[in-house]
A and B are shown apart, each in its own frame.
Chain A
Amino acid sequence: MEGKDRILISSIRNGTKSKWAIVICSVILLVFFLVSILAPWIAPHDPIQVNLALKLSPPSWEYPLGTDHLGRCNLSRLLYGARISLGFASLIFVASLGVGLLVGTIAGYRGGWIDLFLMRFCDGVMAFPNLVLVLGIVGLLGPGLWQVVLALMMVQWVYYARMIRGMVVSMKEQNFITAARISGSSTGKIIRRHMIPNVLPPIMVMGTLEMGWAIMDISALSFLGLGIQPPTPEWGTMIQEGKNFIRNQPELMLYPGLMILFVVISFNVLGESLSERYGVKRRY
Chain B
Amino acid sequence: MVIYLTKRLLAVIPIILFAIFLMFLLIRLSPVDPAEAYLAAANIHPTEELLAEKRQEFGLDQPLIVQYFQTVKKIVLLDFGNSYVTNSPVWQEVAARMPATIQLAVSSILLSIIVSIPLGFLSAVYKNSLIDHFSRLLSYLGASVPQFWLGYILIFFFSVKLDLFPVEGRGTWQHFVLPSLTLSLALIAIYTRLLRASVLEELEEVYVLYARTRGVKEKAIMVKHVLRIAISPMLTGLGMNLGKLLTGTIIVEQVFSWPGFGRFFIEAIFNRDIPVIQSYVVLAACLFIVCNLIVDIVQLYLDPRISWKGRTEY
- A residues with a Cβ closer than 8 A to B are 2, 120, 123-125, 127-133, 135-143, 212, 216, 219-220, 223-226, 236, 239-240, 243, 246-247, 250, 253-254, 256-257, 260-261, 264-265, 268-269, 284
Contact = CB atoms under 8 A, between A and B. Distances in A.
Contacts of B31: 141-142
A219 B146 contact: yes
B155 A246 contact: yes
Contacts of A246: 152, 155-156, 160
A283 to B, nearest CB: 9
B269 A143 contact: yes
Contacts of B152: 239, 243, 246, 253, 257
B241 A284 contact: yes
Contacts of B160: 246-247, 250
A243 B247 CA distance: 20
B281 A260 contact: no
Contacts of B289: 127
A261 B143 CA distance: 9
B213 interface: no
B288 A127 contact: yes
Contacts, number: 147
B118 interface: no
Interface residues of B, number: 54
A137 B30 CA distance: 9
A122 B145 CA distance: 29
A139 B247 CA distance: 14
A129 B140 contact: no
Contacts of B140: 265, 268-269
Contacts of B190: 284
A135 B247 contact: yes
B117 interface: no
B243 A132 contact: yes
A131 B247 contact: yes
B199 interface: no
Interface of B: 15, 18-19, 21-23, 26-27, 30-32, 140-141, 143-149, 152-153, 155-156, 160, 190, 194, 237, 240-244, 246-247, 250-251, 254, 265-266, 268-270, 272, 274, 277-278, 280-281, 284-285, 288-289, 314
Contacts of A140: 26-27, 30, 32, 274, 277
A224 B149 contact: no
Given A131-B246, A216-B146, A269-B140, 11 more contacts: A124-B21, A129-B244, A135-B269, A140-B277, A220-B148, A223-B254, A239-B148, A240-B148, A246-B155, A254-B153, A284-B237
A141 B281 CA distance: 14
A124 B247 contact: no
A129 B262 CA distance: 14
A265 B237 contact: no
A223 B152 CA distance: 12
B143 A138 contact: no
A133 to B, nearest CB: 7
A150 to B, nearest CB: 11
A261 B240 CA distance: 23
The 5 closest A-B pairs by CB, nearest first: A129-B243, A257-B149, A131-B247, A136-B281, A139-B269
A225 B270 contact: yes
Given A135-B265, A265-B140, A129 B27 contact: no
Nearest to A247: B160
16 contacts: A124-B19, A132-B280, A132-B284, A132-B285, A136-B26, A139-B269, A140-B26, A216-B146, A225-B270, A239-B149, A240-B148, A257-B149, A264-B143, A264-B144, A265-B143, A284-B190
